[in-house]
Amino acid sequence: MQVLKYMTQTEHLVQRNDIRNVAIIAHVDHGKTTLVDGLLKQSHIFRENQRVGELIMDTNDQERERGITILAKNTAIIYRGIKINIIDTPGHADFGGEVERVLNMADGCILLIDAVEGPMPQTRFVLQKALELNLQPIVVINKIDRRDARIDQVFEWTQDLFLELATTDAHLNFPVLYAIGRDGVAMYHSNDERRDLEPLFETIINTVPAPVVDTGAPLQMLVAALDYDDYKGKYAIGRIVRGHVTPNTFVVHINRDGVASRQKINLVMTYNGLHRIEVPEALAGDIVALTGIANANIGETIADVDYPEALPTIAITKPTLKMTFSVNTSPFAGREGKSSTSRQLRARLYRELETNVSLRVEDGNTPDEFIVSGRGELHLSVLIETMRREGYEFQVSRPEVITREDENGGLLEPIEHLVIDTRDTFIGVLTETLAARKAQLTNMTNDGSGNVRLEYHIPTRGLIGFRNAFLTLTQGNGAMSSLLIDYEPWLGKIGTTRMGALIASEAGVAMTYGLNNAQQRGDTFIEPGTHVYEGMIVGLNSRPMDMVVNVCKEKQKTNVRSSTSDIAVRLTPPVIMSLEQSLDFINNDELVEVTPQNIRLRKRYLTQHERARARELE
């Protein structure tokens, strides 16, 4: 089919002074969502006495529980008659794909920088992405109320970062504001009176360019987000690049493969506070949600029927980590989950690809296995947790890095920039642990009062499981974050850092007596009364090799049969691991069994006989 090309003429371009589109970007926890709370509250979209709470945009269950943003989201406010579409983005590196997905809707970005931490790895990543799209930056040095705030220093570092990343002079021309997002105040100078967010509203209006668009052109829109509800079905969300759109009209949907199909739009909605409202028409420059296009996916184009021209799809950085999801083969399979067959698991995983743009799913070696690749352990564990809450049960393998080959066939692996902020007393233990993980110190700064920042280059492989170790080693006195730098030649084997597993020798119910015996060998992971199966991991040996233990064993010669009857024995409380800790814990010959009710660790081969045979085959 010959695609008609529409040529926009400069005289047709109009500046939409009634709209600004701005994304809020930053490193994790630098205060994006809290600042959006302030913007929403001060734009008076809520009733006087309405209780709206905090982190209003973090609506998803796991976002609230984990206290981080996972999905980028849209909202809009009206300020002095101008509509400001705001896009809140996640700051955790694992969700960088979310940032890449939505930035094309914006003309400007608010880059938040914590007044203590300064620019961090993800600050660089998101700023780089924003500058690639030529978004006008506004820098906000946030949390200036923090006791250790070092505003001037952070400002200097920020300038250095811009100098490094800017590709045009225009990139260096940005306003700087100072804020305490949590108090809803922003200032032009750090010692100005702290009143409200007026200076930020003003700066957005004055520096984020109003969209310059051809509203008379044939429609073109790039789908940047999807949403669903039971009444209206799928919503395709994105910015209208050119033309206009009205309800109940035909358009063309062009998929990733360039296949165009005629579709009918039902509703056209725009953002208003936390809601979407139906509108009779929307023009280029605005962000809309369209219903009716059932097969729309992120990165695809919706266009005029006569001019089905596709927009460039969104570039997303590739995954670095993969793991196998497979049908649950534990003896307890089917007891606790409802959706368990390979067909159901496959359908659910492939469905995830519609919205989770930086995820990859491939069929595995057997029909019961799927290889799922993501941007990091958290990216994958959030998916696991979501599926388990939906009622699925399955088993997952240890996360592995995704390697590549250079042109000569040499093996390459992902390397990350790791930044650690901690107290100087922990330098010794951290150095030792990180050296074993093939990390190389690249920079160390000390503020003179015992706070150090350590920077390393470390293979992604070496980071697997490090977060846990870090929390233990620093006793919670530290923060760490990392970001992919590049692929570099494989750094060689990293020795296993873990002791052997304590493995249940038979199926049954764990008894205090049996657990007490196991505790002579190492730490245990389960309470008395827990149902176990042969091959399930019930603890960590204090020695490097695996050891089989009978945790179901009861004390002899007793006539009271109960899992807690031999209470006289004082057990050490079990080590209960979270999902992330479990994923970090397992070795290659082990799996995590995930069900709506339990997270269990197991050997891949459940019987001693099978394990011995597998070792022989190695």
Ligand X SMILES: Nc1nc2c(ncn2[C@@H]2O[C@H](COP(=O)(O)OP(=O)(O)OP(=O)(O)O)[C@@H](O)[C@H]2O)c(=O)[nH]1
The residues of the shown chain that bind ligand X, judged by CB under 6 A, are 26, 28-34, 55, 68-69, 90-92, 142-143, 145-146, 180-182
* Of 21, 43, 69, 215, the one binding Mg ion by CB under 5 A: 69
Residue 21 Cβ vs ligand X, minimum distance, rounded to whole Å = 19
- Which range of residues in 2-10, 68-76, 288-296, 544-552 is near Mg ion by CB under 5 A? 68-76
143 binds, among ligand X, Mg ion, none (CB under 5 to 8 A by kind): ligand X
Q: How far apart (Å, rounded) are the C-alpha atoms in residues 571 and 524?
A: 10
- 3-class DSSP state for residue 513? helix
285 binds, among Mg ion, ligand X, none (CB under 5 to 8 A by kind): none
Q: Which two tokens stand for residue 282?
A: 């929307």
**Residue 69 or 482 having the CB closest to Mg ion:** 69
Q: How far apart (Å, rounded) are the C-alpha atoms in residues 517 and 553?
A: 9
34 binds Mg ion, rule: CB under 5 A: no
75 binds Mg ion, rule: CB under 5 A: no
Backbone angles phi, psi at 517, to 5 degrees: -60, -45
Residue 23 Cβ vs ligand X, minimum distance, rounded to whole Å = 12
Backbone angles phi, psi at 589, to 5 degrees: -95, 20
Residue 28 Cβ vs ligand X, minimum distance, rounded to whole Å = 4
**Residue 182 or 604 having the CB closest to ligand X:** 182
Distance of CA 26 to the CA centre of its chain: 13
Q: Is 244 exposed, middle or buried (0-12, 13-18, 19+ CB in 10 A)?
A: buried
**Residue 182 or 360 having the CB closest to ligand X:** 182
Angle formed at CA 279 by CA 277 and CA 284, multiple of 5 degrees: 110
Residue 110 Cβ vs Mg ion, minimum distance, rounded to whole Å = 13
31 binds, among ligand X, Mg ion, none (CB under 5 to 8 A by kind): ligand X
Residue 353 Cβ vs ligand X, minimum distance, rounded to whole Å = 23
34 binds, among ligand X, Mg ion, none (CB under 5 to 8 A by kind): ligand X
Q: Which two tokens stand for residue 318?
A: 């590739």
Q: How far apart (Å, rounded) are the C-alpha atoms in residues 543 and 574?
A: 18
Residue 478 Cβ vs ligand X, minimum distance, rounded to whole Å = 17
348 binds Mg ion, rule: CB under 5 A: no
Closest chain position to ligand X (CB): 91
**Residue 88 or 300 having the CB closest to ligand X:** 88
122 binds Mg ion, rule: CB under 5 A: no
Residue 396 Cβ vs ligand X, minimum distance, rounded to whole Å = 24
**Residue 12 or 146 having the CB closest to Mg ion:** 146
- Which range of residues in 26-34, 219-227, 440-448, 560-568 is near Mg ion by CB under 5 A? 26-34
Q: Which helix (H) or strand (E) holds 576?
A: none
Residue 348 Cβ vs ligand X, minimum distance, rounded to whole Å = 26
Q: How far apart (Å, rounded) are the C-alpha atoms in residues 111 and 119?
A: 10
C-beta separation of 338 from 391 below 8 A: yes
Got the DSSP string for 333-390?
Answer: TTSS-SB-SHHHHHHHHHHHTTT-TT-EEEE-SSTTEEEEEESSHHHHHHHHHHHHHT
**Residue 150 or 232 having the CB closest to ligand X:** 150
Residue 303-322 contact track with Mg ion, rule CB under 5 A, x = bound: --------------------
Tokens 């100005």 belong to: 192
- Which range of residues in 19-27, 69-77, 444-452, 542-550 is near Mg ion by CB under 5 A? 69-77
Q: How far apart (Å, rounded) are the C-alpha atoms in residues 372 and 350?
A: 10
**Residue 67 or 334 having the CB closest to ligand X:** 67
**Residue 34 or 505 having the CB closest to ligand X:** 34
- Which range of residues in 66-74, 132-140, 337-345, 490-498 is near Mg ion by CB under 5 A? 66-74
Q: Which of 417, 459, 454 is nearest to 436 (CA)?
A: 459
33 binds Mg ion, rule: CB under 5 A: yes
Half-sphere exposure (Cβ direction) of 152: Cα atoms closer than 13 Å: 1
Return the bridge partners of 451, or none.
Answer: 423
| Other beta carbons less than 10 A from residue 532's beta carbon | 25
**Residue 88 or 593 having the CB closest to ligand X:** 88
* Of 16, 32, 379, 461, the one binding Mg ion by CB under 5 A: 32
13 binds, among Mg ion, ligand X, none (CB under 5 to 8 A by kind): none
**Residue 116 or 245 having the CB closest to Mg ion:** 116
Q: How far apart (Å, rounded) are the C-alpha atoms in residues 61 and 53?
A: 15
**Residue 36 or 265 having the CB closest to Mg ion:** 36
73 binds Mg ion, rule: CB under 5 A: no
**Residue 91 or 247 having the CB closest to ligand X:** 91
In the chain, the amino acid numbered 7 is: M
C-beta separation of 86 from 74 below 8 A: yes
Residue 97 Cβ vs ligand X, minimum distance, rounded to whole Å = 14
Residue 149 Cβ vs Mg ion, minimum distance, rounded to whole Å = 20
Q: Is 163 exposed, middle or buried (0-12, 13-18, 19+ CB in 10 A)?
A: exposed
Q: Which two tokens stand for residue 98?
A: 């979310």
Q: Is 608 exposed, middle or buried (0-12, 13-18, 19+ CB in 10 A)?
A: middle
Residue 319, CA distances (Å) to 276, 357, 376, 380, 582 in order:
33, 10, 8, 10, 21
The residues of the shown chain that bind Mg ion, judged by CB under 5 A, are 32-33, 69
